A and B are shown apart, each in its own frame.
Chain A
Amino acid sequence: QSVVTQPPSASGTPGQRVTISCSGSRSNIETNPVSWYQQLPGTAPKLLIYSNNQWPSGVPDRFAGSKSGTSASLAISGLQSEDEADYYCATWDDSLNGYVFGTGTKVTVL
């Protein structure tokens, strides 16, 4: 079981705003930058956000990351059908001396 937890599911209708939480501890989220990944069905993960709130080239700003203390969040604004996917947060853990992924959240567009 992961030391970083996410809600198993989230949902919204097209155009709505959905927020996914990522809860960790001092040894991981509080002290290290957080990344977010999107995994569409049957495909490899894709980097959405790095360094808590930075966008890689080509990622729309509908996806926004934030961090406060031992938690981080990913907000998806203007939800679209193509946003239906699994989302994972990840960060370095100083105690484990390795990266940890969150448990993952499946986003459904109703």
Chain B
Amino acid sequence: EVQLVESGGNLVQPGGSLRLSCAASGFTFSSYWMTWVRQAPGKGLQWVANIKQDGSEIHYLDSVKGRFTISRDNAKNSLYLQMNSLRDEDTAVYYCAKEGRMSDWGQGTLVTVSS
């Protein structure tokens, strides 16, 4: 059974940093693209970034380019999202998802950016 467990969400001030993690199990992590998606309170889904199996190809949402960094550690079956220069509008539940087509999702972790 595929399991994705996000962690690292917290309350942070504008301009601050946070690192999200996603622990994967139940599948061969190193064989799949991985994706981060977010959902602001009461709003729709927004794709954030994805990363190829070996990390050689990465794509970002324009509004997070230069501030967020997606990475992975295939030896640890883990996906990460380093978020710097956080803004109020980054407040959301952040989900990690398996594959580019997002076939399986974690339960999400809440990031709140507020002073």
Question: Chain A: residues with CB nearer than 8 A to chain B?
Answer: 2, 33, 35, 37, 39, 44-47, 50-51, 56, 86, 88, 90, 92, 96-104
Check if A46 sits within 8 Å of B105, measured CB to CB. Answer: yes
Check if A101 sits within 8 Å of B45, measured CB to CB. Answer: yes
Question: Chain B: residues with CB nearer than 8 A to chain A?
Answer: 35, 37, 44-47, 50, 59-62, 95, 100-108
Known: A33-B101, A101-B46, A101-B47. 9 other contacts (CB 8 A): A2-B44, A45-B105, A47-B104, A50-B101, A88-B44, A90-B47, A99-B100, A101-B37, A102-B44
Check if A37 sits within 8 Å of B44, measured CB to CB. Answer: no
CA–CA, A38 and B85, complex, Å? 32
Check if B62 sits within 8 Å of A44, measured CB to CB. Answer: no
Chain A interface, >50% SS class? strand
CA–CA, A98 and B57, complex, Å? 12
Cβ distance B4 to chain A, nearest Cβ, rounded Å: 9
CA–CA, A45 and B38, complex, Å? 11
Q: A98-B59, A98-B60 are in contact. Are A47 and B44 (CB under 8 A)?
A: no
Check if A44 sits within 8 Å of B103, measured CB to CB. Answer: no
Q: Which residues of B contact A97 (CB under 8 A)?
A: 59
Check if A37 sits within 8 Å of B45, measured CB to CB. Answer: yes
Check if A56 sits within 8 Å of B59, measured CB to CB. Answer: no
Cβ distance A103 to chain B, nearest Cβ, rounded Å: 6
Q: Which residues of B contact A100 (CB under 8 A)?
A: 47
CA–CA, A51 and B101, complex, Å? 9
List the 5 closest pairs (A to B, CB-CB), nearest first.
Answer: A99-B47, A104-B44, A44-B105, A101-B45, A50-B101
CA–CA, A56 and B103, complex, Å? 8
Check if A104 sits within 8 Å of B45, measured CB to CB. Answer: yes
CA–CA, A102 and B46, complex, Å? 9
Q: What residue in chain B is nearest A43 (Cβ atoms)?
A: B107
Cβ distance A75 to chain B, nearest Cβ, rounded Å: 20
CA–CA, A103 and B45, complex, Å? 8
Q: A2-B44, A101-B47, A103-B44 are in contact. Are A47 and B107 (CB under 8 A)?
A: no
Q: Which residues of A contact B105 (CB under 8 A)?
A: 44-46
Q: What residue in chain A is nearest B62 (Cβ atoms)?
A: A96
